[in-house]
Amino acid sequence: MSRLRSEFLQETSARDTRDLWAAVNNFRSTGSNNLSVLGHPFNDCDAINKSFVDIATDPTYNRENVMSFLRESDDEYTQYFEQHQVYRLLSSIKRTSSGCEPIPYWVYKHCAIELTPIVTHIFNLTLSCGHPPAPWKHSRVTPIPKVNPPQQLSDLRSISVTPILSRCFEKLFVKHHFFPALPASNLQDQFAFRQTGSTTNALINFFR
């Protein structure tokens, strides 16, 4: 069996990490594909959903207070996205889950030229009004066990996948608006959410 696994993995290209991990996961017996076989409460979707909601809900959250900070942007000072930036992003989309939306990734990728003016308008409209379209706030949540086998609902991790356009907007916003607004000194000791940061860099810095 070990020999067969080795031969199978050798045929998998190491350059495509998605396919590589898919091949590795085929040999892992995590039992996460079908939680219902574990019985109660893992066969109760409502119970799992309520558990995630309880964890993610802030009892002190006040929507009116948050909305009070929103204001329409001043066109004179707003840095809107250019079509070439949006096209570069759409045309380079890799295979990914579409979340709740019915449009698969390859539509954006292979129709980037046609869709760029429309998507650019949506992105810039989002910048000017200060809040994203309602569908962007919906996500597909998948429960993944933290341990094998899970014993209670707190042993489940919620993996949330938002719509593709939501993720694309986030990438552009972080690159062109969020990071430029942060003082460079605040990022010197940070490794997460940076293009050049990784857990490897963090470990090297910790053990040096």
* Predicted TM-score of the model (pTM): 0.69
> 199 Cβ partners below 8 Å, 6+ apart?
191
Distance in angstroms (rounded) separating the CA atoms of residues 32 and 54: 22
Q: Which residue has the tokens 């200060």?
A: 130
Segment 66-88, tens digit of pLDDT: 777 766 666 666 789 999 999 99
Distance in angstroms (rounded) separating the CA atoms of residues 123 and 80: 8
Q: Which residues pair with 157 in a beta bridge?
A: 144
Q: What is the pLDDT of residue 41?
A: 83
Q: What is the pLDDT of residue 66?
A: 76
* Most confident residue range from 95-104, 119-128, 144-153, 180-189: 119-128
Segment 86-102, tens digit of pLDDT: 999 999 999 998 888 88
Domain range summary for the chain, segments of one domain joined by +: 45-59+67-182
Q: What is the pLDDT of residue 30?
A: 44
Give the up-direction half-sphere exposure of residue 74: CA atoms within 13 A in the CB hemisphere.
2
Asked if 126 contacts 63 with a C-beta cutoff of 8 angstroms, the reply is: no
Average pLDDT in the chain? 80
Query: What number is the average pLDDT over the span 107-120?
Result: 96
Distance in angstroms (rounded) separating the CA atoms of residues 176 and 81: 9
Is residue 193 scored above 80 in pLDDT? no
Q: What is the pLDDT of residue 49?
A: 87
Q: What is the pLDDT of residue 29?
A: 47
Q: What is the dihedral of CA 115, 134, 176, 92, to 10 degrees?
A: -40
Distance in angstroms (rounded) separating the CA atoms of residues 118 and 133: 14
Distance in angstroms (rounded) separating the CA atoms of residues 12 and 200: 24
